[in-house]
Amino acid sequence: MKNQTNGKKRVIVTAIGIAAFIFTIALGIYSCTKQKSASPSGSDAKNPNLKVLTAQSAPGGKINFSVVLGNLDVTGPTDVRLENMVFNPTAGTVAATIWEWNSDDEKGKTLYSNHTCSMDGSTQTGVVYAPTGWLVPAGGYYGRTGVYTYVSGVLTINWDAPWAGVHESWNVSNPDGASAMMTFASSNYGITHGRGFGSNRPFTGTGNFKTIGTIPRIAYTGSMVAAIKDKNGVLSTIPTTGIGWKTDGLDLSSFTSSSNGNTLHADLTTSNCNPENGCTAGNTHTGIVYHLASDNTSRAMVYNHFCACLPTETAFPAYTGNLHPYAMMQIIDDNGNMRGMVGIEEQDQAGSIGYQYQLKAYFQ
């Protein structure tokens, strides 16, 4: 009986060992699977949070950065974020204010402001829409903290709870002495793209932002990346392959200011526009209508554009339909000059099959 009992024990132990081995393999396969979302809250980060609580150099010699980043590929949901990062070199810590949009959420757009808009012989009350959560409604952001290291131009951030175990790395360079540039390098939670710029200017206070009337009306050059799902549910990216960026620009040289001073706008008839569902019957206007708006109290701005042939003839140039809304943040250098802007587009109405998300980064 004793031998039989021992035999049974060996069988049970062996079975437990096999089950544990199978579970370990399954867990390993799961942990190596690419995350569907670039939101750390939905990640399965299992790497340890290698925190280094010690003084560090300021990244590129700068402490305040605005960045855009996200997951823009053809795998799973699209996720984009706009972040203001503040680094504390004495403690080796970083604090971020974050606005985030995900294609699973379909946040859509919210009315931001209005102004008198006169274009092509027609005058209406023009409206500007923000991605929902960007400035309207108020409080559409959250904060995160972490620790960082900065060695040989490489910035590594290890985030605190509730993002414990989440980390990302950026390459930092200096276009000039008054600014720094961050370029995304790697993460353990699915980020594919990221860029940003910084200086030692605070984010708030007199001289640390430009009002609409004082924004340099020049041609801003830079880059963009987009993830687009069409009305048939087919997801594609611009550029079409890899993790690169496409050259892009925003030329404000022909924009004029609204009478209330909160919007720059233009109707660029030379811009090519081919609306997906066709123009509105009776509308004879061509090109694209652009609006860049602000409440003139911070670096935050709202950018819209839509095909001029989409409004009804009697409503032009006002339009409330499926336009392109962006959250934009000014880039201010150490000297108080506006050097460009970073931003995201979130064109994703609730219940829609299609969407378009973009990251934009302009710097002069």
- Helix/strand/coil (H, E, C) string of 73-94? CCCCCCEEEEEEEEEECCCCEE
Closest CA to 113 of 337, 336, 264, 322: 264
Q: Tell me whether residue 82 is in a domain.
A: yes
In the predicted structure, residue 48 carries a pLDDT above the cut 70: no
Structural domain count, the chain: 1
Q: Tell me whether residue 69 is in a domain.
A: yes
Q: Find the largest Cα–Cα distance for the chain.
A: 102
Cβ atoms 52, 92 nearer than 8 A: yes
In the predicted structure, residue 45 carries a pLDDT above the cut 50: no
Q: Tell me whether residue 73 is in a domain.
A: yes
Q: Tell me whether residue 4 is in a domain.
A: no
Closest CA to 159 of 135, 138, 142: 142
Average pLDDT, the chain: 89
Closest CA to 209 of 48, 96, 28, 333: 333
Q: Tell me whether residue 214 is in a domain.
A: yes
Q: Tell me whether residue 21 is in a domain.
A: no
Read off the tokens for 129. 């829409």
pLDDT digits (tens, 9 = 90+) for 257-288: 999 999 999 999 988 898 988 999 999 999 99
DSSP state of 136: B
CA distance 93 to 87: 6
CA distance 347 to 355: 6
Q: Is the pTM of this model over 0.75?
A: yes
266-277 as b/e: b if 16+ CB within 10 A: bbbeeeebeeee
CA dihedral 122→120→271→290, nearest 10 degrees, is: -40
Read off the tokens for 293. 């708006």
Closest CA to 119 of 311, 295, 261, 247: 311
288-317 as b/e: b if 16+ CB within 10 A: bbbbbbbeeeebbbbbbbbbbbbbeeebbb
Confidence of residue 241 (pLDDT cuts 50, 70, 90): confident
CA distance 187 to 72: 14
Tell me the β-bridge partners of 198. Answer: 65, 180
DSSP string for 319-340: --SS-EEEEEEEEE-TTS-EEE
Flag the least confident range among 33-47, 263-277, 283-297.
33-47
Give me the domain span that covers residue 109.
40-363
In the predicted structure, residue 9 carries a pLDDT above the cut 70: no
In the predicted structure, residue 26 carries a pLDDT above the cut 90: no
CA distance 358 to 344: 5
Predicted pLDDT at 11: 37
Question: Scanning the structure block, which residue is given the tokens 């409330």?
Answer: 320
Q: Tell me whether residue 342 is in a domain.
A: yes
In the predicted structure, residue 127 carries a pLDDT above the cut 60: yes
Predicted pLDDT at 149: 98
Cβ atoms 332, 338 nearer than 8 A: yes
pLDDT digits (tens, 9 = 90+) for 144-199: 999 999 999 999 999 999 999 999 999 999 999 999 999 999 999 999 999 999 99
Q: Tell me whether residue 178 is in a domain.
A: yes
pLDDT digits (tens, 9 = 90+) for 93-114: 999 999 999 999 999 999 999 9
Closest CA to 330 of 292, 298, 359: 298
